[in-house]
Every structure is written in structure tokens, then in C-alpha cells.
Homo-oligomer: A and B are copies of this chain.
Amino acid sequence: MTRLASLVLLAIFLAAGIVPAASERGQSPPSLPTYTDDGKLVFPANYREWIYLTSGLDMSYSPNGMAGHSIFDNVFVNPEAYREFTRTGTWPDKTMLVLETRVAATNVSINKSGHFQTGELMGREVHVKDEARFPGNWAFFGFDDKDTAKMVPHEAACYSCHEKHGAVDTTFVQFYPTLIEIARGKATLSTGYLTDEKTLSSSPKTSKPSSNR
């Protein structure tokens, strides 16, 4: 076979789709927000295969913290948005951040102190950037155990708090340890956050081991 014929054959194979599709080689499908006809967001079922950003334990806006169970929160973002953030320091359109909360446990199996995560989900929320769709570009959705959810109304306090204090584009990048320095380097930190840095605690207080053993 001549070189030209080989090239033509390769081109024909490619055109015919004989070369495996990206998804067959292990790539996930694009992670775009999907809505029902009545405007509910469809929960992104495969979010645990997205990019992990951070976890917290019993984080609260109040000095008195939370009552009852100890709770972990885990944050994930769709891979396309993550890659764009590492390149630009901010979120592209169609970014989806998922917050899941899980009951913490202790003293099981070989674990004798500290806290670990259990299979008991407490809740799941999604923060979506969809510029053509939402006022202020972003919207929150709380899912509980349902597959679709209505948008949290824009009057809710979460919007104004995120807009005022979010380090980047209304999101709490100040708690995403691998992204905050990227944003600082790309000069995408919000005015509100930079003001907070001056007026609130400017350096993290290292927390001590909890007494909950």
C-alpha cells in the first residue's frame, strides 16, 4: 500500500468513527447543566467523579457553630470548569459546583479518635453559573434526595453573602486550598474578599485537634 493510500484509509476510518470515541477511552461526557421543561435543574449524578476541591468539618458562619451531629462538607466541580479556572483564575460559563454534606463518625474498626465520613448523606446543593439564564449569572439549587430541584430564589441570603464575601466570582475560593493561590496569581480576587482580608482575620488560625474522641 502506498503512503497516500494509507493516509486515505486512516482518514476514512476516522470519518467512519472506527477510531474509538473519547468516552470509550475513559473520558467522561461533558458536564453541562441540564434543566427540565419547567426550569428545574437535573442533579449531576456523576459528581463524585468530578474534580474534588475541598472538605470542611462543622463549618459555620456562626461562632456558636452547629448543633447535633458532626458534619463533613465536600465540594466538587465539573472538570471543564476546573481546567478553565487553573488557566484563567476564574469560572467559565456553565460551571457547576456541588456541595455534599455527610454525617461524621468516630471509633469504628481501627479508628480510635478523630472523625471520618460515613455513607449517610445529609444534603446536596449545586451552585451553577449560567449567564443567559440567571440574574447575577449564578443560581443555587438544594436537592435533598430528589433528582431535580427548583432554583433557590435570588432574594435568599446565600446570594448576597456569596456576592459580598466570595473570593472569586461569588464563590468561596478562599476555602479551596489548591485554587486560592491561582486566583491571587491571576489577580481575580474580588474587591469584597480583598476588603475582608484587611478587616477580618487576615491569616488562618491553625485549629487544634478536636476533643471529640
Majority secondary structure, A binding face: mixed
Counting every copy of the chain, the complex holds 2
Which residues of the partner chain B approach A104 to less than 8 Å between Cβ atoms?
57, 206-207
Of the listed stretches A109-117, A133-141, A145-153, chain B binds A109-117
Q: Is A55 an interface residue (CB 8 A)?
A: yes
- Could you tell me if B209 and A68 are in contact, using CB atoms closer than 8 angstroms? yes
Q: Which residues of B contact A55 (CB under 8 A)?
A: 55, 72, 74, 117
Is B165 a contact partner of A209 (Cβ separation < 8 A)?
no
Instruction: List residues of chain B with CB within 8 A of the CB of A175.
Output: 109, 111, 116-117
Contacts of A172 in B (CB 8 A): 109-110
Taking a contact as CB atoms under 8 Å apart, the answer to whether B113 and A62 are in contact is yes
A187 within 8 A of B: no
* Binary interface encoding of chain A residues 1-41 relative to chain B, with 1 for a CB under 8 A from any of its CBs, else 0: 00010011011101100000010011100000000000000
Instruction: Check B205 against A108 for contact (C-beta < 8 Å).
Output: yes
Q: Which among A67, A118, A181, A209 has the highest number of chain B CB atoms within 10 Å?
A: A209
Indicate which residue in B64, B74, B115 contacts A207 across the interface (CB closer than 8 Å). Answer: B115
| Listed A/B pairs (15) with beta-carbon separation below 8 Å | A22-B27, A49-B79, A52-B76, A55-B72, A56-B116, A57-B57, A57-B114, A59-B114, A104-B206, A105-B206, A106-B204, A107-B205, A108-B204, A109-B165, A109-B197
